[in-house]
Structure 1
């Protein structure tokens, strides 16, 4: 049987809002970040949890601008040490991938059984001890320690919520008193060329400050199974251990969360914009996860070439490459090789069109799917959308069409 892994316009609806599975490096398709009404409603509530700048940043330029900002914001920035107790192959560990900006301690680069230690950064956005950081810093951790300036011993943190897709997480410590917090600025109003400051713990070098500019906006990036679609690009140096730390403007306001660094070029780092925090943090605070409807299929845009190659019943629609076991699609009876032509009576001719229709729905909604089988028969099934798994969603390399 022919392998599904082909170079066509592919998408994952194993999300049902989708993450591109084909390709790697810098490739990703748009609209990974939540766009449903639930996210839009949640974004209006960010002010319940964090201080948000009410006016455009004023930038007091001068010889001491950066040092003054650093002095003012440093008490709110923390060091995070996450421990994962499990058997790992160091060579294959995502914690060892420098693109993620995380640190694997001093373990040798050989396959072995080990305890992973990831060092990252975070900052208080709420005086009651709530911290924002990257999901990849604390993902799978059995123990999370937070080092706060002015305290001799670290605090043990609990995970309030995390989101694999946007790579954001909220932690909480039992703060003995109100914690200093950072102000969230407006990344949308931050222009390319604006000066920014990155503060973090690269290579366990605490409180390292680097300066650069916003060199681009809206950058897509794929790292492993994570697909970022709207990152700030910066020339401020970001290294392993900076992950989760703030990217600040010259008014000391957070405009991004330092997340990744390009290993292929110097001075190319990436940060999650605060516009994404606006959408995600309120949901993590309320429910611990982001609500995304999930169908559970990997899909490709069908065309005449694909239809002929795989003897499909139609050359117009969305080809089902793979159906996740125990998913809504599986329970509805969809199988690989079928071509979805309609969702709730609306024609879908591309993978992105199917994604858009699913994203309009909510978790628990029932959708009607019209599909053409491999034998050319048209069928209609009903699926109840589930909650997207908060983890990597990948298609098995051995998956094949019937």
Structure 2
């Protein structure tokens, strides 16, 4: 097992596909390209219309920021120098250069519009260059139609064209960096660097835009293109600017073993809404507009973006691994701010479980159905029956969970006990906490009392240090809180942590607290 499994998972998840896996150089001369009329067809013309897109910039891997020199492909759309390529080829790049028709000369280009979800981008040459343009195909892709994939795989400046057939007319298009509604599956071989290049029919017309490869585990490769039926209207929209985009170069990740899921932010486009909200490379977007991003694909992320206009305010929740903070804010609204975290407040008092260790969680609902929270799957010893934990003679909805409840009662195991009161008396939060501090016994000493607010529940808490015997020092958290959804009722809880991973689990439980 790796020393740090999360580090390995994130390293593998960094969207290297966005880099094209190629290193390229520069040329200082610009030679005119022979002009062909827009909408050129015929396989002989495809080479002159297919371009290599070179992207330079900085991208974030788990080890830190690093410069990249990546490449992809594209094709010329019109005589104004507009070029169609993939979003993941260009988003986050500081500079773009284009080689045309296999020519070694390079021409500067700028981004006109991108669509993060459909993985499409329109860029434009910033110098006047006469060049051919490809037209869209009006044919319906059906097996076994003959197709050709054109582009510049692996950063090679020499033009490549491969031949194949349509294998499936409408394949599933959800990947870790895009959510395509209709993808053409074909067997014309493509590799990294082909991204954004045209898939053409036998007449040389664009049938699709190549964007992905896959291996289903059978030893065979699959190749996918965005259907022209979807790409053409989207490209027309992108000629006027971005759509379904917030300015993130991202990759969905899911690590069940460590309880981490969301969209890894490898890059943020300057001046876009994500940058204005305070998102940084290295962040993980865990929730967008209240939707948990857990699938390991862009499906949920893009469902939210497609349900909102580009300038709508969208709530966002972010895990900042650099500082181990949880932040909340809004895209097109309030900037990200740290959310209260027991892990940050108390981590120096417990053992370190690793800088990025996470935990697999399960939703736990009390037997009355009144409340639920996400708890570690390993806290499998549970009691969800109504209990009178505070000795007031009236059972209330409650959840108790631990690796071992008997050991939790003896300050020797992590866990949580939560009781939800639907009616409250005239006591204060501090009065309740005082009684709980007295109840934990002489082996525990109060070290801190303060307010807390994690944007889900808010109230008062006390931290106590307890002698856990052979298990070491245990930190207890005694809290009295109310929820925004029912401010007239209270949540009374006691939690125990031996490691900072346990504190993180307690943070997750409280931030996921839901009244049914």
TM-score by length of 1: 0.52
Q: Secondary structure at the match of 1:281?
A: helix
Aligned to 1:185: 137
Which protein is bigger by CA-based radius of gyration?
A: 2
Instruction: For residue 46 of structure 2, give the secondary structure of its aligned residue in structure 1.
Output: helix
How far 1:329 sits from its partner (Å)? Answer: 12
Q: Does 1:196 align with 2:307?
A: no
Matches within 5 A, 1:125-274: 125-149=77-101, 152-186=104-138, 189-205=140-156, 206-264=158-216, 265-274=219-228
Aligned to 1:368: none
- 1:195 Cα shift? 0.6
Residue 72 of structure 1 pairs with residue 45 of structure 2 = yes
Q: What is the CA–CA distance in structure 1 between the aligned matches of 2:159 and 2:241, rounded to whole Å? A: 32
For each residue in 1:282-318, what CA deviation from the matched residue of structure 2 results, as whole angstroms up to 9, or x when unmatched?
22112333589xx822179xxxxxxxxxxxxxxxxxx
Does the aligned pair in 2 maintain the 1:134–1:169 contact within 8 Å?
Answer: yes
Counterpart Cα distance in 2 of 1:161 and 1:186: 24
Q: CA deviation at 1:191?
A: 1.4
The 5 A counterparts of 1:3-402 are: 69-86=42-59, 88-89=60-61, 111=63, 114-149=66-101, 152-186=104-138, 189-205=140-156, 206-264=158-216, 265-290=219-244, 296-298=289-291, 324=317, 325-327=328-330, 400-402=511-513
- Whole-angstrom distance in 2 between the partners of 1:141 and 1:74: 25
Shift of 1:281: 1.2
1:191 match: secondary structure = coil
**Contact (CA 8 Å) 1:261, 1:268: kept in 2 or not?**
yes
> Where do 5+ consecutive residues of structure 1 fail to align?
1-23, 25-49, 54-67, 93-110, 301-321, 332-336, 340-372, 378-396
Distance in 2 (CA, whole Å) between partners of 1:330 and 1:160 is 24
Q: In 1, are the aligned partners of 2:137 and 2:205 still within 8 Å (CA)?
A: yes
- The whole-number CA distance in structure 2 between the counterparts of 1:72 and 1:329 is 44
Runs of 5+ unmatched residues, structure 2: 1-12, 14-36, 247-287, 294-314, 318-327, 335-364, 372-483, 489-506
Change over 3 Å in CA distance of 1:287–1:329 after alignment to 2: closer
Matched position secondary structure for 1:213: strand
| 1:139-179 deviation line (CA, Å, top 9, x unaligned) | 10011110113855201110001110100000100343442
Classify the secondary structure of the residue corresponding to 2:93: coil
Q: CA distance change for structure 1 residues 147 and 327 in 2, over 3 Å: closer, same or farther?
A: same
- Contact 2:87–2:114 (8 Å) recurs in 1: yes
Task: Report the Cα offset of residue 197 of structure 1.
Answer: 0.2
Cα distance change, pair 398–280 in 1 and its aligned pair in 2 (3 A): farther
* Equivalent residue number for residue 296 of structure 2: none
Q: TM-score, normalised by structure 2?
A: 0.41
Give CA deviations for 1:44-68 in whole Å, capped at 9, x if unaligned.
Answer: xxxxxx9679xxxxxxxxxxxxxx9
- Secondary structure of 1:126 counterpart: coil
Query: Deviation at 1:185?
Result: 0.8
Q: Distance in 1 between matches of 2:123 and 2:240?
A: 13
Deviation at 1:113, TM superposition (A): 5.3
The count of aligned residue pairs is 240
Q: Which has the higher contact order (CA 8 A, sep 6+)?
A: 1
